[in-house]
Structure 1
Amino acid sequence: MKSLFDDATAVSFRNDPLAMRVYTSQLLGRDKNLVLHGGGNTSVKIGTTLYVKGSGWNLDTIEKPGFSPVDLGALCAMAGRERLSDAQMVKEQREAMSDQSAPNPSIEAILHAIIPFAYVDHTHADAVATLTNTPEGKKLVQALYGPDMLVIDYVMPGFELAKHIYNLTRTIDWNTLKGMVLMHHGVFTFDDDAKRAYEKMIDIVTVAEEYLKARVSLPSTECARKADSALLSTLTEETSSLRGTDITAVLLDSPQALTLSRLPNLKNIIRNGELTPEHVIRIKPFPVLIREDVSAGMAEFVRDYRDYFDAHASGEHICLDLAPRYAIIEGLGAVALGKDAQEAAVIADIVEHTITAILSAEQLGGWGSLTLAQMFDMEYWELEQAKLKK
C-alpha cells in the first residue's frame, strides 16, 4: 500500500492541527481497502478537547464540521467507570461537547481519548482483518508484527471495548507500541505527528498485504454463464415482499464471486461472520443461498434468520425485517439487494470486499470471523433498537 501523504500539500496545515486531521483522514478514506462507507474513525487532541469523527460522516469526504469536539477529561473519566450502557455513553458524550450543533461523537471516542497521542487513526483494513479472520489469526498477527504490536481479542465496539483496553494498558508504555490490532475488527495507529500516524497505518497494512500476496492466489478467469433475468426478477420480487419496499439488484459476477459461489462448503462458510463487525448492520449476518429454486432458498433464509433471532433475543428485542441484503447464487456469483441504487451499491462494495477476504482466508486455513451471537449483539445493538421503539 502506497502512502498518499504529500508534504507540499500538508505544509499549509502545519499550524492547524484540525485541518491536518481532515487531510490525513481523507487520505485514509480514499482507499476502500482501508475503510468502506462510513467505516473507521480518526481524532486529534487539541488542548483539553478531543476532536473525533462524528456520526454520519465518511472519512473520504470529512471536513472540520464532521469532527465532534468533546471534553477530553470527561471521556477519560468515563473509561474509569465500571459500567456504562452505550445509550448513556452517547448521552454523556454529547453533554461533554463544546459545540452542541456538532454531530454525535463516534462510539469509539472514549478509546481515542485514552490513547495518549495527539493523532489517532482507526481503519478496518481488509488485509489485516483477513488475517485475523483465520483459525490461527492471533498467533499469525503476533508473529508477523512482533511484540510492539498490541493484539486485542474481539470485544464489541463501544464502552466495553474502551474499558477493556483501558484496563489492559494501565501498565503498558504506549510509546513502545507501533499500533494495535483488534481481532476481527481493525487497526489503530497513533502518534503526535499526523504524517507518522498515517504512515504507520500504511506500513502495518502493507505487511499484511505482502503476506497475503505471497501465499494467496485469487481467481481471474471470467465465466461465460450468467444468472438469467428471470431468476434475478424472482429474487428481487421475493426480497421486496419481505422488506416491504422496492428492491434494486446489483449482480456481482466477478471471478472472485463466481469462485465463492462454487465452493463445496459454501453454506458453512457464509455463516462464519463478516469482514468487520459493523458490516452486519448493513448486510445482516449471512446471505440467502440460492441453489435451483429461489422460493426455496428464500424460505430457508427466513427460517434461519428467525432461528438466529430466537436463539439470541431477549424479550426487549424487536425483530428486524426478514429480507436478505444479498444473495449467493450457487455457481453464478452474488447479488446485492438494496432498497435503492445507493444502498445496493454500498452492499455490493461490502460484499465484494468480503468475498475477497473469504477466498484469501480459505487458503490460510479457513474463514472465521464473529460468532452468530457476536453478530447478533452488533445487529441488535441497543442504539439501533432504540430507533425502532420511537
Structure 2
Amino acid sequence: MRAFLTAAQYQIISLCRMRNLILTLFLQPLVLILLLGHAFGGEMKPAKVGLFIEDTGALSSSIQEYWHSEQVTAYAAVEITRSEEETRQSVESGRFDYGVVIREGFSEAVTAGQPAQWVLMPGHDDSRNIAVRAVADRYLSEMNLKQSASINGLGDASSDTENGSTDASSKTVQIGTLGVSAEHLFGTVNANQYYAVSNLIMFLLYAGMTGTIVLQNEKQNFTLQRIYTQPSRFNMVVYGKLAGVVCFGIVQSIVIIAFTTFVYDVDWGNRLDLTALVCLLSIAAGIGCAIVIASFFKSHQAFRSFYSIFIFIATFLSGGMVANLDGTVGELGKFTLNYWSTKGLRGIMNGELGTDLWMPIGVLASIAVVLLAIGAVRMSKVVKVNA
C-alpha cells in the first residue's frame, strides 16, 4: 500500500510540473467554453434603428407608438432622423443597424386601399436585419389585414387610429432566427451549459491519455523495468501511477466546474454528488479506454495521434461540437462514451429524477467497468517490454 500511495504522489507532482499540460487541460477548455457559449448563446442586443416618419396622416401617431412600445424596444432601439437621406447615410456608415422610412401619403394610401409600403434599409449584420424586418413586418401585416377588411366592406383601415393606438402595438412581437431556435438547438440547457459539459468530458478523456503516455515513456526509458526489480509489487506501483492520474482529473474537474460556475454563471444543478460521480466515472472510463488503445501501439507518438483523433470523432458524434445532430450521425453518437457522460451531466443540470437521470449514469458506469476490466487484461502490453 505504501508503494501505491508513493507512486500516486509522485505521479501527481510530475503532472503538475508539466506547464504545457496544465495549459492544455485547464486553460484550453475554459477558453473554448467561453468562446462557444457566447458565440451560440449570447443574447443579441437591440438593433439601432433610424426611423424617419414623413407621413403626417392618421396612422403617423400609431406608427410612433408602435416603434416605441415595450415589445419592440426589446429588439430595436429607435432614434428619430430628420430625412430619408440622413437615414440612408447613417445605415451605410454603421451608425444605425437598420433604417426605416415612412414616406408622405402612407396613411392616405392605406385608408384608400391602395398599395403602400415602407422603405426598409438593411444594415451589415444579417441577424439584426432579420430581427428588425420581423418587427416591421408585424405592423405592415396588421395594416394589410385592416386594408383587406376595408376593401371588402368589413371595417375602416384607420378606425383604430381615432383612439391613438393600433392593435399592432398591443400584440406580442415574435422574433425568430433562420433555422432552429437556440432553445431547440441546445434542448433544455443554454449554450454555456451545453459546451461546459461537452468540453469538460472531452478534456477529462485527454487526461486519461496523458497517464497512459507517461507509462509508455517510462517503459521506453526502462524506468518501469528498474521498478520491476524492486521488492515492492510492480502492479501496485503501476496502479498507483494511474491513481495519481485520477486525482489529477478530479482536480481538473473541480477547477473547470468552479470557474465556470463563478465566472461564466454556468448552473451545474443542485446535485454536486452526482456530478462528481459522473466525472469520476468518465475519468476511469477514459483511463481504461486509453490503456486498451495503447496496448495496440508500440510508439507513444502513434498512440497519441490515434487517440486524439478518436476523442475528436467521439466528441463530434456525441454532439459536443455541433448540437442537435440528427439521422445516422446522431444515432452513432449513442455508441460513444461522451454521449452518456454528457447526457448524465445535463440531466443533473435539468433536475431530472428516476430513470431519466440514472439510466445514463448506469450506462456510463457499465462502460467504465468494461473498459477498466479489458484495460487490466491488456496492461502488460503497455508496461512490459517483452509482453
Higher strand fraction (1 or 2): 1
**Fold similarity call, TM over 0.5:** no
Relative to the length of structure 1, the TM-score reads 0.22
The structure showing larger relative contact order (alpha-carbon pairs under 8 Å, at least 6 residues apart) is 2
Higher helix fraction (1 or 2): 2
